Amino acid sequence: MRLTLDTYAALQSPIHRWWPRTKLVGLGLLMLGFSSVRQIQLIPVCLLVTAVLYLLSGLPWSFLRSRLRYPGLFLLGIVIALPLLSGNTLLWQWGPIAIRQEGLIAMGLIAGRFLSIVTLGMMLLGTTPLLTLIDTLVSLGLPPLMAEMALLAYRYLFDMAELLSHLRQAMRLRGFKPVGTPHSWQQLAAVIGTLLIRSYEQSERIYKAMRLRGYANSRKTLYQIKGWGQTPDIAALGLCATIALTLIGLQTIT
C-alpha cells in the first residue's frame, strides 16, 4: 500500500505558491463545473484547462500515471462496456459485436469528466502538504474534532500498515496459507482483531501522553490559514469560478 503523497509538495510552481484557501475553493469549483458537463463538445475544454493547470503545477507525469493506475481499471471497464451496450444508432457491426453512437458519446463524457476531476484532485493534493490542507479545511468550517481525528489517523496509518506487514510475515513464517476454509478465515479474523487491539492499546498510551502535554476538552479552533491571499490568488480563484460558472450556465441554457 503506497501511503505517501507529499513527495512533490515542496516544489516551486505557480500552483504550489497559490494560497491554499483560494486554491481549494478554486479547484473545487472547477471540479463541480466539470462534473456538470453533459455535452461531449465541452469535454476538450475541460481536458485543456486541466492539462494547462497540470503543466503549470510542474508535477511529473509519472506522479499522475501512478495515481491513475487503480481508477484506470474503472475507466477501462467504461470504455469497453458502454459503446457495446448502450444506445440504438449502429456505427459499426461485426457479428454480435456492435458499436453504438450513444454509448460512444456516454463513454467520452464519463471518461473525460473522470480524467479531468481526478487530475485536478491529485494536483491539489500533490501541491499542498496534507497538514496545510486539513488546516485549510478547518478554516473553511470542518469540525475541529474531525480534523484532529484525521491528523492522528494519518500519523498512525503508517504504523498500522507496518504492523500488518509484520503480522502477515509472522503468519507466513508459521506456514499460514490463505485458503477459503473456515479455519483460515478464523485466523484472518484473529489478525484483524489483533490489529484493532494493538491500535486500541496504543491509543490509550497516546491519550495519556496528550493529556500530559496539555491536551484537553478544548474546542478552540486554531488554524494558521486565514484570509484569501493576495491579488493574484484571488484573480486565479475568479478565473476558476468564471470557467466553472460558464460550464454550468451552458448546461442550463441548452
Which 74-133 positions form the footprint of other proteins (CB under 8 A)?
74, 82, 85-88, 100, 102-103, 106, 110-118, 121-122, 124-125, 130
Min dist. Cβ of residue 90 to other proteins (A)? 12
Find all residues with CB under 8 Å of 184, minimum gap 6, and list them: 176, 177, 178
Length of the chain: 254
Q: Which is nearer to other proteins, 79 or 164 (CB)?
A: 164
Q: Which of 95, 96, 175, 180 binds other proteins (CB under 8 A)?
A: 180
Instruction: Give me the 219-248 binding string for other proteins, x by CB under 8 A, dash otherwise.
Output: -----------------------------x
Asked if 111 and 75 touch (Cβ cutoff 8 Å), the reply is yes
Q: How many degrees, rounded to 5, is the angle at CA 72 between CA 76 and CA 120?
A: 130
Q: Which of 80, 91, 159, 227 binds other proteins (CB under 8 A)?
A: 159
Min dist. Cβ of residue 156 to other proteins (A)? 5
Min dist. Cβ of residue 180 to other proteins (A)? 4
Using CA atoms, how far apart are residues 31 and 221, in angstroms rounded to an integer?
28
C-alpha cell at 31: 471540479
Helix 130-139 crosses helix 101-127 at what angle (to 10 degrees)? 100
Q: How many degrees, rounded to 5, is the angle at CA 146 between CA 142 and CA 149?
A: 150
Note whether 166 binds other proteins by CB under 8 A.
Answer: no
Asked if 49 and 29 touch (Cβ cutoff 8 Å), the reply is no
Q: Which of 55, 190, 235, 239 binds other proteins (CB under 8 A)?
A: 190
Binding-residue total with other proteins (CB under 8 A): 85
Using CA atoms, how far apart are residues 156 and 201, in angstroms rounded to an integer?
13
Q: Which is nearer to other proteins, 203 or 224 (CB)?
A: 203
- Segment 16-45, which members bind other proteins (CB under 8 A)? 31-32, 34-36, 38
